[in-house]
């Protein structure tokens, strides 16, 4: 999921569970809805999706601004990879190809601290799809650093833990006080002195887990020295990222790029979103100009989904007077909610809840909040953000973690109503094939051996997490560093 997690409101279960229920109780309606808005979601495998992508239509609506020039993004990418120490031969030639007009595919996600395999793996999935395209597209990872920094998944990484009574342990970026929530790109980076504290839980849990695995399995493949070497690799990459990053988001992005470009050897290009958004004045002016139609389309789609039994989150269907974008407070990087000031939607206003700064945006001065700024000061809300995906960036397709299904299904339907072509995306989840590794095997044995149900539950949780894509990539680097064919361990969504 790329954006807007903190906006969601409680309702009857998650979108996923509602959708699964509808797929069982009203399969015809659910299938019809999905087939009419996003037929490619039925593709389960990378090769099926790749084949679909070749014939996918492109947006050709009259009056639509041209996609932005790759040259703009290529410059941001070059600057990022130089700082990240990841301007490999493959990355450099990707940037060259991109600049010279080669088609592109995109991945987009928040730069989470020690990200999950579901997120990290998207770069590998994207490469696997790109390899099957005759046009051999360039792969661009848009770093969504313009959401709020108080999202749990942004700050906390999970690793399975056999010694913990919950079955997992958290690795945390420095905690945040309640009143410190700001836009991700506005948060300072931790100091190098914080490194031991950031990494210590990983060392502790690994040592305890190795001892438990030995008790359960006897002789083990992993030993103290091998694990210590792998821990040192993680530590070194994190230290490099801390030294060269400018903000916590940048530190996290550099770490991700080092895993993708150096450890996995992928050619993915990374582009910070808060920089890239500055190039979108024309595209945001266009969306502003169709505000009335947009509002109507959102309501119609929500009603249609409700008709088949799915309630859409209120963060996606905004009240009539709420503007579909935020403004960043110039004083404290807070996110200011904007409301329409008049019924024709010519002006939006808002006040910072922290410092009470008043802001006003009109369709004419949007540009002042974008290209003239160091980072974008006007941030599209989630539906606008997804609509831009279809026509502003010029990509031919995308890859996402399937957690974003609700946003995606809703916005593709809204795009379709507006006559915009949505970006075909492969929404996938990590589903490893092949035998269990020794960690997973030990967790499974432990579940059988333990006598109390609470302990059994913890062991089961640990092995499920170890086997899922929700665990931090740090776990994979330690216990299953053989990343070969990672892309093909992901499966699509129905």
Measured from the CB atom, the residue of 74 and 376 that comes closer to Zn ion is: 376
- The reply to whether 12 sits near Zn ion by the rule CB under 5 A is no
Q: How big is the CA angle at 168 (ends 163 and 169), to the nearest 5 degrees?
A: 90
**Rounded CA separation 337/326 (Å):** 5
Question: What residues from 357 to 396 belong to the interface with Zn ion (CB under 5 A)?
Answer: 357
Measured from the CB atom, the residue of 282 and 332 that comes closer to Zn ion is: 332
- The reply to whether 353 sits near Zn ion by the rule CB under 5 A is no
- The reply to whether 332 sits near Zn ion by the rule CB under 5 A is yes
Task: Report the nearest approach of Zn ion to the CB of residue 246 (Å).
Answer: 21
- The reply to whether 412 sits near Zn ion by the rule CB under 5 A is no
Among 54, 221, 355, 364, binds Zn ion (CB under 5 A): 355
* Two tokens, residue 4: 């807007």
Question: What residues from 432 to 461 belong to the interface with Zn ion (CB under 5 A)?
Answer: none
Task: Report the nearest approach of Zn ion to the CB of residue 335 (Å).
Answer: 10
* Two tokens, residue 198: 């950031």
- The reply to whether 330 sits near Zn ion by the rule CB under 5 A is no
Task: Report the nearest approach of Zn ion to the CB of residue 330 (Å).
Answer: 8
β partners of residue 359: 350
Among 243, 354, 460, 480, binds Zn ion (CB under 5 A): 354
Measured from the CB atom, the residue of 88 and 357 that comes closer to Zn ion is: 357
Measured from the CB atom, the residue of 346 and 353 that comes closer to Zn ion is: 353
Measured from the CB atom, the residue of 242 and 329 that comes closer to Zn ion is: 329
Among 11, 16, 331, 371, binds Zn ion (CB under 5 A): 331
- The reply to whether 252 sits near Zn ion by the rule CB under 5 A is no
Task: Report the nearest approach of Zn ion to the CB of residue 354 (Å).
Answer: 5
Task: Report the nearest approach of Zn ion to the CB of residue 177 (Å).
Answer: 16
Task: Report the nearest approach of Zn ion to the CB of residue 366 (Å).
Answer: 20
Among 15-23, 29-37, 192-200, 332-340, which window interacts with Zn ion (CB under 5 A)?
Answer: 332-340
Measured from the CB atom, the residue of 58 and 331 that comes closer to Zn ion is: 331
- The reply to whether 329 sits near Zn ion by the rule CB under 5 A is yes
Among 75-83, 269-277, 331-339, 395-403, which window interacts with Zn ion (CB under 5 A)?
Answer: 331-339
- Selection from 42, 47, 214, 240 nearest residue 129 by Cα: 47
Residues sharing a CB contact under 8 Å with residue 472, sequence separation 6 or more, in sequence order: 114, 115, 116, 117, 157, 158, 159, 171
Among 119-127, 352-360, 375-383, 406-414, which window interacts with Zn ion (CB under 5 A)?
Answer: 352-360
Measured from the CB atom, the residue of 182 and 458 that comes closer to Zn ion is: 182
Task: Report the nearest approach of Zn ion to the CB of residue 458 (Å).
Answer: 44
Task: Report the nearest approach of Zn ion to the CB of residue 359 (Å).
Answer: 9
Measured from the CB atom, the residue of 354 and 480 that comes closer to Zn ion is: 354
- Produce one character per residue of 45-75: b if its CB has 16 or more CB atoms within 10 Å, e if not: ebeebbebbeeeeebeeeebeebbebeebbe
Residue whose structure tokens are 């093909």: 488
Among 134-142, 244-252, 347-355, 372-380, which window interacts with Zn ion (CB under 5 A)?
Answer: 347-355
Measured from the CB atom, the residue of 6 and 445 that comes closer to Zn ion is: 6
Question: Please, are residues 23 and 41 in contact by the beta-carbon 8 Å criterion?
Answer: no
Size of the site for Zn ion (CB under 5 A): 8
Measured from the CB atom, the residue of 258 and 375 that comes closer to Zn ion is: 375
Measured from the CB atom, the residue of 73 and 329 that comes closer to Zn ion is: 329
Task: Report the nearest approach of Zn ion to the CB of residue 99 (Å).
Answer: 38
Spell out the SS3 assignment of the chain: CCCCHHHCCCCCCCHHHHHHHHHHHCHHHHHHHHHHHCHHHHCCCHHHHHHHHHCCCCCCCCCCCCCCCHHHHHHHHHHHHHHHCCCCHHHHHHHHHHHCCCCEEEEEECCCCCCEHHHHHHHHHHHHHHHCCCCCCEEEEEECCCCECCCHHHHEEEEECCCCCCCEEEEECCCCCHHHCCEHHHCECCCHHHHHHHHHHHHHHHHHHHHHHHHHHCCCCCCHHHHHHHHHHHHHHHHHHHHHCCEHHHHHHHHHHHHHHHHCCCCCEEEEHHHHHHHHHHHHHHHHHCHHHHHHHHHHHHHHHHHCCCCCCCCCCCCCCEEEEEEECCCCCCEEEEEECCCCCCEEEEECCCCCCEEEEECCCHHHHCCCCCCCCEEECHHHHHHHHHHCCCCCEEEEEHHHHHHHHHHHHHHHHCCCCCCCEEEEEECCCCCCCHHHHHHHHHHHHCCCHHHHHHHHHHHHHHHCCCCEHHHHHHHCCCCCCHHHHEEECC
- The reply to whether 334 sits near Zn ion by the rule CB under 5 A is yes
Task: Report the nearest approach of Zn ion to the CB of residue 206 (Å).
Answer: 42
Among 123, 184, 305, 352, binds Zn ion (CB under 5 A): 352
Task: Report the nearest approach of Zn ion to the CB of residue 376 (Å).
Answer: 16
Among 51-59, 154-162, 243-251, 333-341, which window interacts with Zn ion (CB under 5 A)?
Answer: 333-341
Measured from the CB atom, the residue of 186 and 469 that comes closer to Zn ion is: 186
- Where on the chain is the footprint of Zn ion (CB under 5 A)? 329, 331-332, 334, 352, 354-355, 357
């Amino acid at each position: 999921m790329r954006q807007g997690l903190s906006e969601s409101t409680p309702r009857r279960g998650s979108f996923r569970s509602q959708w699964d229920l509808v797929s069982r109780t009203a399969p015809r309606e659910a299938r019809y809805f999905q087939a009419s808005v996003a037929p490619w979601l039925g593709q389960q495998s990378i090769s099926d999706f790749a084949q679909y992508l070749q014939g996918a239509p492109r947006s050709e609506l009259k009056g639509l601004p041209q996609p932005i020039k790759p040259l703009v993004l290529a410059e941001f990418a070059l600057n990022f990879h130089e700082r990240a120490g990841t301007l490999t031969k493959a990355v450099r030639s990707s940037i060259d190809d991109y600049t010279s007009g080669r088609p592109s595919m995109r991945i987009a996600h928040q730069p989470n601290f020690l990200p999950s395999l579901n997120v990290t793996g998207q770069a590998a999935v994207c490469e696997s799809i790109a390899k099957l395209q005759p046009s051999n597209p360039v792969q661009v990872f848009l770093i969504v650093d313009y959401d709020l920094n108080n999202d749990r998944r942004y700050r906390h990484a999970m690793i399975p833990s056999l010694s913990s009574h919950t079955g997992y342990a958290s690795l945390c970026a420095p905690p945040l006080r309640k009143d410190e929530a700001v836009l991700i790109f506005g948060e300072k980076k931790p100091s190098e002195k914080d490194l031991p504290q950031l990494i210590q839980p990983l060392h502790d849990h690994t040592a305890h887990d190795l001892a438990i695995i030995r008790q359960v399995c006897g002789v083990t493949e992993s030993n103290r020295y091998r694990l210590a070497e792998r821990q040192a690799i993680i530590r070194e990459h994190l230290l490099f990222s801390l030294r060269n990053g400018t903000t916590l988001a940048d530190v996290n992005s550099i770490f991700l790029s080092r895993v993708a470009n150096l450890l996995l050897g992928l050619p993915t290009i990374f582009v910070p979103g808060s920089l890239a958004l500055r190039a979108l004045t024309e595209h945001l002016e266009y969306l502003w100009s169709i505000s009335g139609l947009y509002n109507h389309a959102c309501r119609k789609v929500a009603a249609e989904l409700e008709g088949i039994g799915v309630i859409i989150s209120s963060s996606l269907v905004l009240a009539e007077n709420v503007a579909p974008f935020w403004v960043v407070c110039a004083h404290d990087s807070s996110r200011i909610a904007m409301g329409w000031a008049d019924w024709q939607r010519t002006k939006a206003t808002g006040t910072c809840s922290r410092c009470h700064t008043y802001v006003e945006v009109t369709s004419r001065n949007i540009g002042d909040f974008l290209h003239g700024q160091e980072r974008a000061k006007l941030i599209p809300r989630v539906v606008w953000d997804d609509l831009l995906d279809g026509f502003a960036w010029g990509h031919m397709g995308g890859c996402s973690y399937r957690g974003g299904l609700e946003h995606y299904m809703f916005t593709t339907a809204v795009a379709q109503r507006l006559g915009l072509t949505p970006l075909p995306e492969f929404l996938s989840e990590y589903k490893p094939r092949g035998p269990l590794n020794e960690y997973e095997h030990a967790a499974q044995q432990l579940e059988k051996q333990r006598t109390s149900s609470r302990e059994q539950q913890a062991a089961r949780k640990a092995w499920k997490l170890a086997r899922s894509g929700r665990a931090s990539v740090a776990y994979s680097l330690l216990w299953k560093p053989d990343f070969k064919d990672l892309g093909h361990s992901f499966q699509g969504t129905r």
